[in-house]
Amino acid sequence: MKDQFQSGPLHGKVNNKEERFSSSGFILAAIGSAVGLGNMWKFPYITGQYGGAAFFMLFVICLLLVGLPVLLAELTVGRGGRGNASTSLIRLSGRKLWGGFGFITILGAFVILSFYAVVAGWTLHYAMLSFTGKLFEHKDYALLFSNFNASWMPVFWQFIVMLLTGFVIIRGVSAGIEKFNKILIPGLVILLLVLCVRALSLEGAGEGVAFFLKPDFSKLSAESALVALGHAFFSLSLGMGAIMTYGAYVDKRQSLGLATLAIGIGDLAYAFLAGLIIFPTTFVYGLEASQGPGLVFVALPAAFSAMPLGAIFGGLFFVLLAFAALTSMISLLEVPVAFVREAFGWSRKFSVVLLTLLCFLVGLPSALSLGDKAPWLTFGGKSFFDWMDFVCSNIVLPLGGLVVTLFVGYAWKGAAEEAGLSTWWLRLWMFMLRYVAPILVLLVFLYSSGILTF
């Protein structure tokens, strides 16, 4: 197949080296996208809620059996179509309808980014509080967290992280996205290892490790399986056009199969190490691992305050979280940026400035809905923030995953050639995409959107 870099349609830039990843840069950027708040903020508390080690095993199975095939499908579509998450689908199928489905994932990425930035902002605030020691002047961390949310600080930090994200993307794929991931990911690994050693050397860490690694299968249910699958999708950044968009910047010589494996291992290793930090820490200090979204911002500060050199370790922990969030935000912002550049022919600079500001504005109600400034932003039993998370993570994301799965499994005949797998792997991949993934993803969708209940 002729490489479309040569024939042109990649945002109208013919053969533009600035808009391509190197092989290692691509893998790091994709790992950066996958590794994010999901691994460190969401994964530990859902693991706590749904049965510890048994849940972790389910997560690994879902990641391998469904997550990786869909990840490869997204990469293949991106590289084959060489467009944004909508035009790639149109180009490869010759049908506008697929582009419409793709467009929904682009909207999804934009909206996820709008509230993801709010949480990313919290991490920077908490890093500052920790390093300056202010975090430990308090005793009631739940109160501290709700007072913080009632102030204007979350909006300030949300603005800062959006600016940082825009600042990286404005420089382009090679000089921006790739370069920053090459700095941030090694930094992330070092921080992760330092914190892991710290957590595991705490006295009594074993109990937390056991909770995380000793499975109790009686805790498993159909519900935990669906939550695990939904999280495998979120964690690999699937269904939001992010991986598809990155795929468009990948060289034809890159083995997509190996890249998929590397991204999967990277994401899993990170989740594993995050568990080894969070569970021992919470157990040693007698905190509740299943307490929900407040785990990282409420329970962990209490642990850091009691730990020797807690200000430093706490600060490093929140910096780690901020790095992880930033590399995911970069991949999310690139999705709509790629779209508007191609659709309207705008320059990268203009597209990034416009979408960064727009996304900040769209995120404002999310940030404000968690304080007491705007009670009207809570309706139907959920805050605006929770609604955004609910709609994106539970409806748009599984639907986006389903679209890609069906597209590669049934609609696009050139997928096998583009993926470049050997016969045996190809058969397995197609089998998963045609028969296994769609059914499971549909179940997740029905369950997480509330249509199917247990």
Position among 10, 29, 30, 37 found at the interface with ligand PHE (CB under 6 A): 37
Least distance between ligand PHE and beta carbon 57 (Å): 19
Scanning 93-101, 202-210, 236-244, 347-355 for contacts with ligand PHE by CB under 6 A, the matching segment is 236-244
Q: By CB under 6 A, is residue 33 in contact with ligand PHE?
A: yes
Q: By CB under 6 A, is residue 235 in contact with ligand PHE?
A: yes
Q: Which of residues 278-337 bind ligand PHE (CB under 6 A)?
A: 328, 331-332
Nearer to ligand PHE, 106 or 284 (CB): 106
Q: By CB under 6 A, is residue 141 in contact with ligand PHE?
A: no
Scanning 207-215, 218-226, 232-240, 247-255 for contacts with ligand PHE by CB under 6 A, the matching segment is 232-240
Distance CA 448, CA 446 (A): 6
Nearer to ligand PHE, 47 or 328 (CB): 328
Q: Which of residues 249-268 bind ligand PHE (CB under 6 A)?
A: none
Q: By CB under 6 A, is residue 31 in contact with ligand PHE?
A: no
Least distance between ligand PHE and beta carbon 202 (Å): 26
- How many other C-beta atoms lie within 10 A of the C-beta of residue 427? 12
Q: By CB under 6 A, is residue 84 in contact with ligand PHE?
A: no
Q: Which of residues 424-453 bind ligand PHE (CB under 6 A)?
A: none
Q: CB–CB of 279/212 below 8 Å?
A: yes
CB within 8 Å of 50: residues ≥ 6 apart: 219, 223, 224, 227, 228
**Which 3 state secondary structure label does DSSP give 217?**
helix
Position among 68, 240, 352, 368 found at the interface with ligand PHE (CB under 6 A): 240
Q: CB–CB of 141/287 below 8 Å?
A: no
Q: CB–CB of 324/341 below 8 Å?
A: no
The 10 Å CB-count burial string (b at 16+, else e) for 196-228 is bebbeebeebeebbebbeebeeeebeeebbbbb
- Chain centroid to Cα 311, Å, comes to 27
Position among 130, 237, 260, 356 found at the interface with ligand PHE (CB under 6 A): 237
- Crossing angle of helices 23-34/179-200, nearest 10°? 50
Nearer to ligand PHE, 10 or 243 (CB): 243
Scanning 13-21, 31-39, 159-167, 347-355 for contacts with ligand PHE by CB under 6 A, the matching segment is 31-39
Nearer to ligand PHE, 114 or 237 (CB): 237
Look at phi and psi of residue 422 and say left if phi exceeds 0, alpha if psi is from -120 to 50, else beta.
beta
- How many other C-beta atoms lie within 10 A of the C-beta of residue 355? 25
HEC assignment per residue over 153-180:
HHHHHHHHHHHHHHHHHCCCHHHHHHHH
What does the binding site for ligand PHE look like in residue numbers (CB under 6 A)?
33-34, 36-39, 112, 234-235, 237, 240, 242, 328, 331-332
